[in-house]
Copies of this chain bind each other. A is one copy, B any other.
Amino acid sequence: MAKSVLTPQATDFPRWYQDVVAKAELADNGPVRGTMVIRPYGYAIWERMQAEIDLRIKAAGVANAYFPLLIPESYLRREAEHVEGFSPELAVVTHGGGKKLEEPVVVRPTSETIINSYFAKWIQSYRDLPLLINQWANVVRWELRPRLFLRTTEFLWQEGHTAHASESDARAFALRILSDVYEDVMTNVLAIPVLTGRKTDNERFAGATTTWTCEAMMRDGKALQMGTSHELGQNFARAFEITYLDEAGQQSYVWQTSWGVSTRLMGALVMVHGDDDGLRLPPRLAPVQVVVVLARADDGADTAAAALAEELRTAGLRVELDLRTDTSFGRRVVDWELKGVPVRLEVGPRDLAQGMVVVARRDTGTKTSVALPGVVGAVTAALDAIHGALLDEASALRRSRTVDAAGLDEAVEAAATGFAVLPMSALGVDGETTLNRAGISIRCIQSADGGLPGSSHDATDDAPLVAVVGRAY
């Protein structure tokens, strides 16, 4: 309806993304290259994500804790593969308290090394297992081609770290986080359909034995890695000497997992649901679910608008009241659309005189006149419908842009506009390298029957495997 202030998606998707992030006031670039300022509206969305994720992490029996930002450089060297993965990305503190430090310290790029050095102290016996810890923190990985939320030198995340008595316990827990926390939040709160599967050895987290991933398709057909859950085997246990006395009185190394999601999810939210008018926030996530917009303040319409807002709040909804009639109604509507508020209640003197208000849905743009006594019911029904509609729309897009490919050439062609599903048997020894040269990566490996495959280090998988390939952010 209202004229857009954004570059259309079809014209230039990356430019559209930048426009939305700026104009919906989600984030700004920081002064140090690659860093970002998360503005209040962006942060309110992130706080809602955090709350939903934190609830599920705690329900899985995990406790939050906090470990230091600064890590001695020597800690990172203890696990060889791990340091190799991170060394080009490190920020190094060489001076502290006005003096050169004896040993440089790094700003944490992730916390496996420091957390595991404490696990070694805290874990003595099988009674201390499983040890299930999470932290919400900032991490720093120097980023050469930064992009707000998607790739930033500093980002916010949660990182879970656990220790278990057996490999099967560790595997089960890594998969529980993948499905009960990550997939559940992404699908049922963010309304983003995700593919779950395992990473190839090439794409696996440095130091992990298996990396499990949730992958989503953005509106331009590209993939975004949404979150990962790693089986670490005994790699860190051996490097940090994390052993326990088992029930038989034997010293054994623990089996571990780590897992994380980050402010990257904000980028996914924009690129999965956003349209040419701005954000479209899924209602279960939105910090503002309903905005009550007063058109003109005549004839007590402001009092009526305030009463409606209060009635909606009492019904348990997150509501904002917009009485700024010194700014034009049209301009405010454009702004609320930019910000993606799922439902707009338009309150004007003429409608009110007839006992009516207008309920406008952000996802479809449809407007319905509703009699005053039915407002709470109509808004609640609209919010429920919007969650389903956004999820269906994203699922339909992914379906329409996913091709079953028989061989590499076909997969490369399909990945120009979306995903290709390729039998692993058709990939061959150099298949992944060939794809990578074409700017395409294997997003995840799945079982041909739709289920999850075994872990990377399993000798065999029961069903034939397929690779989901695409271009990635």
Interface residues of chain A, those whose CB is within 8 Å of chain B, are 28, 30-32, 35-40, 42-44, 46-47, 63-72, 75, 87-98, 104-105, 107, 114, 117-118, 121, 133, 137-138, 140, 142-144, 153-154, 156
Query: A94 is contacted by which of B28, B32, B89, B95 (Cβ under 8 Å)?
Result: B95
Q: From residue A266, how far is it (CB to closest CB) to chain B in Å?
A: 11
18 residue pairs bridging A and B, Cβ less than 8 Å apart = A30-B114, A31-B68, A31-B71, A32-B68, A36-B68, A37-B66, A43-B63, A43-B64, A44-B64, A69-B107, A69-B154, A70-B153, A87-B98, A90-B96, A92-B95, A92-B96, A93-B107, A97-B144
- Which chain B positions have C-beta within 8 A of A64? 40, 43-44, 47
Instruction: Name, among A32, A47, A72, the residue most crowded by chain B CB atoms within 10 Å (CB to CB).
Output: A32
Residue of B nearest to A118 (CB): B37
- Which chain B positions have C-beta within 8 A of A89? 97
By Cβ-Cβ distance, the 4 closest A-B pairs, closest first, are A97-B142, A40-B63, A35-B68, A30-B68
Copies in the complex: 2
Given A95-B92, A97-B142, A32:B65 Cβ within 8 A: no
Residue of B nearest to A67 (CB): B37
Q: From residue A467, how far is it (CB to closest CB) to chain B in Å?
A: 31
- Complex alpha-carbon distance, A374 and B94, angstroms: 62
- Complex alpha-carbon distance, A121 and B64, angstroms: 36
Given A43-B63, A68-B31, A94:B94 Cβ within 8 A: yes
- Complex alpha-carbon distance, A69 and B156, angstroms: 11
- Which chain B positions have C-beta within 8 A of A66? 37-38, 43, 46, 156
- Which chain B positions have C-beta within 8 A of A67? 30, 37-38
- Which chain B positions have C-beta within 8 A of A133? 40
Given A37-B68, A68-B31, A96:B88 Cβ within 8 A: no
- Complex alpha-carbon distance, A66 and B71, angstroms: 23
Query: A88 is contacted by which of B72, B98, B104, B143 (Cβ under 8 Å)?
Result: B98
- Which chain B positions have C-beta within 8 A of A32? 68, 70-72, 105
Residue of B nearest to A132 (CB): B40
Given A68-B37, A70-B153, A28:B140 Cβ within 8 A: no
Query: A63 is contacted by which of B36, B44, B88 (Cβ under 8 Å)?
Result: B44
- Complex alpha-carbon distance, A118 and B36, angstroms: 11
- Which chain B positions have C-beta within 8 A of A98? 87-88, 90, 142
B65 with A140: CB separation less than 8 A: no
A97 with B93: CB separation less than 8 A: no
Residue of B nearest to A121 (CB): B28
